[in-house]
Amino acid sequence: MKFPNPVLSLVALSLAGHCAAAKEPTRLETVNSYTVAQEKKARDAVRAAGYDPGKVFFVQAGNFFFDGIREGHHYGLTVTPEGKVYASAAPD
């Protein structure tokens, strides 16, 4: 991208750097934020409990809410920050 005005060039570079930095936060922004390491720990706990971790529905205060799969059935799973896994009742 070429800008005829040097001031506009500086503004564009400043915004581009800000956008790139926003993609990798250095701290948790909200109670719903989580890191890659936290998600890995939660997924590992789901596997250790005998489920295949599916999609993360949401995260709140370090608790992960997953779609877990076991023997072809889907379960709503809650994984605590300590790594405990709680499952909903199996569907009929």
Question: How far apart (Å, rounded) are the C-alpha atoms in residues 54 and 77?
Answer: 10
- pTM score of the predicted model: 0.66
Task: Indicate whether 6 pLDDT > 80.
Answer: no
CA-CA-CA-CA torsion sign (65, 54, 90, 85): negative
- The closest alpha carbon to 89, from 59, 62, 68, 64, belongs to 68
Question: How far apart (Å, rounded) are the C-alpha atoms in residues 32 and 25?
Answer: 13
Task: Indicate whether 48 pLDDT > 90.
Answer: yes
What is the tens place of the pLDDT at every residue in 14-38? 555 544 444 454 566 888 899 999 9
What is the tens place of the pLDDT at every residue in 59-72? 999 999 999 999 99
Residue 53 burial class via C-beta count within 10 angstroms: exposed 0-12, middle 13-18, buried 19 and up: buried
Question: How far apart (Å, rounded) are the C-alpha atoms in residues 35 and 27?
Answer: 9
Mean pLDDT, the chain, integer: 80
